[in-house]
Amino acid sequence: MVMPSGLRKVALTAHIASSVGWLGSVAAFLALAVVGLTGEDAQRVRGAYLAMQVTGWYVIVPLAFASLLTGLVQSLGTTWGLLRHYWVLVKLGLTAVATVLLLVHMRVVDHVAETAAQMDLSGSQLDGMRTQLVFDAAAGVAVLLTATALSVYKPRGITRYGWRVQRAQRNQRADGETADTTAPARV
């Protein structure tokens, strides 16, 4: 079922806004992670990790779920469909995996932020986790850029289901044209 044009545009706007917001907030999170890892000033490092926790839970996580939900609405309510094109399936898979990994990642963020709130993280304290935050955020940016590129380029490739749907639509149009041409003309 295809959504009416006005609703489709609202849904597309919501999807683009949440997806681009997610990408931008992860990029800001990456900047904070780099400051937290490389910063010399204890207060700045503490502030970076506390900001990462707030940004993660109140901006990134909601935008991830909004992007996933609006993407599902877009695919189900447009001619692209959810299961018709490989790029839609790949983008859905990337978004779903990224959302799950984000929730796992937030446990590390919480631990580092809570530790930073209690003590100075200078030196090698939680160094592995702090480095992980940088790499995870960089990977998140890469995945979200890939999903964005898939939306823009829409690479060819139709699934078996997509071929069946296309064939059925062609047959339906052909049957409709045949019925119209053989019907007696009305005056």
Per-residue model confidence (pLDDT) at position 179: 53
Tens digits of residue pLDDT in 56-93: 999 999 999 999 999 999 999 888 888 889 999 999 99
What backbone torsions phi and psi does residue 88 show, to the nearest 5 degrees? -70, -45
Find tokens 């839609």 and name the residue: 88
**Averaged over 102-131, what is the pLDDT?**
91
Per-residue model confidence (pLDDT) at position 177: 67
Q: Where are the alpha helices (DSSP H) in 4-159?
A: 5-38, 42-55, 61-76, 86-118, 127-153
Above 60 in pLDDT, residue 103? yes
Between 12-26, 107-121, 150-164, the lowest mean confidence (pLDDT) is in: 150-164
